[in-house]
């Protein structure tokens, strides 16, 4: 294969890390490429599932003695604690790795410290190679750990004029099957799907991740969360069908905001405690407005159909702004056709201060 640069190896490690998307939580996505002293790839691995071997361990097992004197290129700082697996810092030292190149330091205080351990053992450590790409590839986990609450994606589907249903309440189907398949793939990348009790009462959704072509359930299902201040979710609602774990979050259990509704920051803190690092907010417009008004939405994914209604409920209810100067400003980062529809991805712009 020939020798490769550490920059090239990091690019490969970032691609490897992405293979664990949707299955590693509450652990991060991590990829590792091992180079021998001549710079040839002798091992690679990624963290595939929580509780399974870490990326470095997989790569070391593949490399064996060829790792000695070589370089480990890792997307995230090697862990330094004993959890369900041993510390990766110690495994790299024991394998005789001479140099470690990493993309992003670990913000988790429990696992951090790998750099210090490696350097104390005489291993050369370089930090920040392709840092922006490594950060972007692990954005949800890194953001969640730094803040102690899940990374929240608001997803909606609407007509081009922003309607999520017709005036008579009918909404099946505004977007195409291709868009709905895309949504189910998106559900498969998160740990929880959140909806309000209004959506549950109106639409009785399953909120599961499924193969729409044959109806089969994905192997891993996100936690279904119904934000239900007064406990109105029917006992026979489909979110209670046993196909996936469900939490009906009431104000009595979570705590209330000044208006007597479920306290949303507390809700997210509890989800984080339960291992949720990324969550998908799916409905409806009232709940989305409340999350946006509280500044709790990290990413917006909208599916826009080439249709017009002119009446009916809008995708978003009151989100705080009273005048144009208070608008919630977004930045588009991706616009992609999905079947006849458009998927738009945007991030709230960071405000100064």
In a domain, residue 1? The reply is: no
> Are 115 and 168 in the same domain?
no
In a domain, residue 298? The reply is: yes
> Are 113 and 172 in the same domain?
no
Residue where a domain stops, chosen among 106, 139, 172: 139
> Are 202 and 97 in the same domain?
no
- Predicted local confidence at residue 351, as pLDDT: 58
Strands of 246-249's sheet, edge to edge? 246-249, 223-227, 192-196, 278-283, 151-159, 299-305, 341-348, 330-338
Catalytic residue among 8, 44, 56, 133: 56
CATH assignment at residue 124: 3.40.140.10
Residue span of the structural domain in which 253 resides: 148-348
In a domain, residue 60? The reply is: yes
Task: Round to whole Å and give the CA distance between 320 and 229.
Answer: 20
> Are 103 and 204 in the same domain?
no
- Predicted local confidence at residue 212, as pLDDT: 78
Q: Which segment of 59-63, 106-110, 176-180, 293-297 scores lowest on mean pLDDT?
A: 106-110
Task: Round to whole Å and give the CA distance between 292 and 17.
Answer: 30
Q: Nearest CA to 32 among 3, 11, 1?
A: 11
Residue 188 near residue 220 (C-beta atoms within 8 A): yes
> Are 153 and 239 in the same domain?
yes
341-348 and 330-338: which strand pairing?
antiparallel
In a domain, residue 353? The reply is: no
> Are 303 and 229 in the same domain?
yes
Alpha helices by DSSP H, listed for the chain, are: 6-17, 55-63, 88-94, 114-120, 131-137, 139-147, 177-187, 197-203, 251-254, 264-273, 285-293
Residue 319, phi then psi, degrees to nearest 5: -120, 10
Q: Tens digits of per-residue pLDDT, 331-344?
A: 999 999 999 999 99
> Are 71 and 206 in the same domain?
no
Q: Number of structural domains, the chain? A: 2
Task: Round to whole Å and give the CA distance between 270 and 274.
Answer: 6
Omega before 339 within 30 of 0, i.e. cis: no
Residue 216 CA, chain-centre distance (Å), reads 23
Q: Tens digits of per-residue pLDDT, 106-124?
A: 998 776 789 999 999 999 9
Q: Tens digits of per-residue pLDDT, 207-248?
A: 998 887 887 888 889 999 999 999 999 999 999 998 899 999
Cα 239 to Cα 262, 291, 329: the distances in Å are 19, 21, 33
- Predicted local confidence at residue 353, as pLDDT: 37
Task: Round to whole Å and give the CA distance between 88 and 198.
Answer: 46
Which residue is associated with the tokens 């498969």?
A: 188
> Are 100 and 212 in the same domain?
no
> Are 79 and 135 in the same domain?
yes
> Are 170 and 87 in the same domain?
no
Residue where a domain stops, chosen among 111, 139, 167: 139
Task: Indicate whether this model's pTM tops 0.75.
Answer: yes
Q: Tens digits of per-residue pLDDT, 48-106?
A: 998 899 999 999 999 999 999 999 999 999 988 776 667 899 999 999 999 999 999 99
Residue where a domain stops, chosen among 117, 139, 161: 139
Task: Round to whole Å and give the CA distance between 305 and 159.
Answer: 5
> Are 167 and 27 in the same domain?
no
Mean pLDDT score across all residues of the chain:
93
Omega before 26 within 30 of 0, i.e. cis: yes
CATH assignment at residue 222: 3.40.430.10
Residue 320 neighbours by CB distance under 10 Å: 13
Task: Round to whole Å and give the CA distance between 344 and 18.
Answer: 21
Q: Nearest CA to 213 among 245, 246, 189, 177?
A: 177
What is the percentage of the chain residues whose pLDDT exceeds 70? Answer: 98
For residue 144, give both structure tokens.
């969640």
> Are 306 and 157 in the same domain?
yes
Region 235-263 average pLDDT: 93
Is residue 56 among the annotated active site residues? yes
- Predicted local confidence at residue 84, as pLDDT: 66
Region 136-148 average pLDDT: 94
DSSP secondary-structure letter at 148? T
């Amino acid at each position: 294969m020939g020798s490769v640069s550490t920059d090239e190896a990091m690019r490969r490690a970032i691609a490897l890390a992405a293979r664990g998307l949707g299955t590693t939580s509450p652990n991060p996505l991590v990829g590792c490429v091992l180079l021998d002293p001549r710079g040839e790839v002798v091992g690679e691995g990624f963290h595939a599932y929580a509780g399974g071997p870490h990326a470095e361990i997989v790569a070391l097992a593949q490399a064996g003695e060829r790792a000695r004197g070589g370089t480990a290129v890792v997307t995230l700082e090697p862990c330094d604690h004993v959890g369900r697996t041993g510390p990766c810092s110690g495994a790299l030292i024991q394998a005789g790795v001479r140099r470690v190149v990493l993309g992003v330091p670990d913000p988790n205080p429990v696992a951090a410290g790998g750099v210090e351990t490696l350097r104390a053992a005489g291993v050369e450590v370089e930090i920040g190679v392709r840092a922006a790409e490594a950060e972007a590839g692990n954005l949800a986990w890194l953001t969640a750990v730094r803040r102690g609450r899940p990374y929240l994606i608001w997803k909606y589907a609407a007509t081009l004029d922003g309607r999520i249903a017709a005036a008579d309440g009918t909404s099946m189907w505004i977007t195409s099957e291709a868009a709905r398949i895309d949504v189910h793939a998106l559900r498969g990348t998160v740990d929880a799907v959140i909806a309000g009790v209004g959506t549950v009462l109106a639409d009785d959704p399953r909120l599961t991740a499924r193969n729409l072509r044959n109806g089969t359930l994905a192997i891993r299902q996100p936690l279904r969360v119904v934000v239900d201040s007064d406990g109105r979710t029917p006992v026979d609602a489909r979110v209670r069908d046993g196909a996936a774990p469900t939490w009906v979050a009431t104000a009595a259990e979570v705590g209330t905001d000044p208006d007597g509704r479920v306290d949303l920051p507390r809700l997210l803190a509890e989800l984080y405690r339960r291992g949720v690092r990324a969550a998908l907010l799916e409905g409806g417009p009232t709940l989305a407005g409340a999350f946006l008004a509280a500044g709790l939405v990290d990413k917006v994914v909208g599916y826009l159909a080439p249709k017009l209604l002119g009446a009916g409920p809008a995708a978003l209810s009151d989100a705080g702004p009273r005048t144009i100067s208070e608008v919630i400003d977004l930045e588009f980062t991706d616009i992609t056709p999905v079947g006849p529809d458009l998927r738009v991805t945007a991030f709230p712009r960071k405000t100064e201060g």
